[in-house]
Structure 1
Amino acid sequence: MAYLIYKEYDMMLEKIKVLKEYGCHGYIGSETYCTPDLISPSTYRDLIFPAQQHFYKKVAEMGMVPIVYFLGDVLPLIEDINQLGVKALLVEEPKKGYALNGTEIRKRLDEGITLFGNLDSVYTLLYGKVEDVRTEAAKQLEAAKYGRFILANGCPIAFDTPKENILEMIKAGRD
């Protein structure tokens, strides 16, 4: 099984080489199937982590910025993520019955890893008011007191998202 996992990551490296040739400076790996809500942390550590660590090291050796996007509850894997060799971590919005506290994640991440926030793209940005965006952004920006942090949306922004909400998120991140 481990052989197949390494093979999959190696095939992705070939595609990333092409992206680099076309001018890409970084790569965001979306790790959707190896989070603790789908497999146990011990299975992740034994089976997936070594291949990921190899993969992100190779991405960095290509001269690209390696970034990982984990779906699900990442808290049980923070120490592992610290060892992946990535420069940044993006996390999913907490909509599956668990809370992802950006400040707690930021405190546990190595200082060389930037945390991207996960402002709710649906309930806050799409359906919320400007005040909701401001309030949620302020909560998330608390994480910046503990290290590198970028305020960001946690999922793609819907087409009908009010422009003023997007502008408020940008303003909050700049202030």
Structure 2
Amino acid sequence: GESIAGPDVVSPDVYQEFAFPYEKKAIQELKRKGIIVANHICGNVTSIIEKMVETGADILEIDEKTNLQKAKKASQGKTCLLGPISPERLRRGTPEEIEFLCREALKIAAPGGGFILGPGCAMGGDTPLENIDALVKTVKRYGRYEGSTLRNWQLLDL
């Protein structure tokens, strides 16, 4: 991830002129070599989400500041979203709060596919295991896609 070209630091116009062309070029080169690319820009990327989709990244990592409805609309059928659970809420919240946040994100972003529920940014090493467990259990219970044949959930067991 990077944070110096995001809308929390620079305007969308500055991002488009000075960061977007280079991100797109780097992502396209990596993909040409067969590498799966995830693009993360810290902060609220709602104003540049369409440009992030245009980079061609396979996954866009978004945090809780980003409008999830707008990100889903911009990315649907083009790329996959990953996030948007706040690492700070994972660190300081309760398991019940984590389940609620996860269920709300799943309601918005899971329909139609192209969504991986997870933290919106790096988690701290002191994140309580019970909160990580709440996220995983919520995904197992509510995060299956209609018609999914995935059955190997033991890979996610803590």
Partner of 1:141: 106
Distance (Å, rounded) in 1 between the aligned partners of 2:59 and 2:26: 15
For residue 46 of structure 1, the aligned residue among 14, 17, 23 is 17
How many angstroms does 1:153 deviate by?
Answer: 1.1
Pick closer, same or farther for the CA change 1:156–1:37 going to 2, 3 Å. Answer: closer
With 57-66 and 42-51 compared, the bigger mean Cα shift is at 42-51
Q: What is the identity, as a one-letter code, of the residue corresponding to 1:103?
A: Q
Q: What is the identity, as a one-letter code, of the residue corresponding to 2:10?
A: I
How many angstroms does 1:74 deviate by?
Answer: 0.7
Check if 1:33 corresponds to 2:12: no
Distance (Å, rounded) in 2 between the aligned partners of 1:82 and 1:157: 24
The 5-angstrom pairing of residues 72-87 of structure 1 reads: 72-87=43-58
Name the count of aligned residue pairs: 140
1:107/1:146 contact within 8 Å kept:
no
2:3/2:9 contact within 8 Å kept:
no
Q: What is the identity, as a one-letter code, of the residue corresponding to 1:121?
A: P
CA RMSD of aligned residues (A): 1.6
Pick closer, same or farther for the CA change 1:160–1:73 going to 2, 3 Å. Answer: closer
- Percent of aligned positions that are identical: 28
Distance (Å, rounded) in 2 between the aligned partners of 1:46 and 1:161: 37
Residues 58-100 of structure 1 show CA distances to partners (whole Å, capped at 9, x for unaligned) of: 0101110011001122111122112101111002343xxxxx2
2:85/2:102 contact within 8 Å kept:
yes
Gaps of 5+ in 1: 1-29, 95-99
Larger Cα-atom Rg: 1
How many angstroms does 1:147 deviate by?
Answer: 3.5
Distance (Å, rounded) in 2 between the aligned partners of 1:79 and 1:121: 24
Check if 1:68 corresponds to 2:39: yes
How many angstroms does 1:40 deviate by?
Answer: 1.6
Q: Give SS of 1:65's match.
A: coil
Distance (Å, rounded) in 1 between the aligned partners of 2:58 and 2:104: 23
Provide runs of 4+ in structure 1 moved above 3 Å. Answer: none
Q: Give SS of 1:117's match.
A: strand
Partner of 2:28: 57
Q: What is the identity, as a one-letter code, of the residue corresponding to 1:158?
A: G
Gaps of 5+ in 2: 142-158
Pick closer, same or farther for the CA change 1:43–1:101 going to 2, 3 Å. Answer: closer
2:84/2:117 contact within 8 Å kept:
yes
Pick closer, same or farther for the CA change 1:119–1:137 going to 2, 3 Å. Answer: same
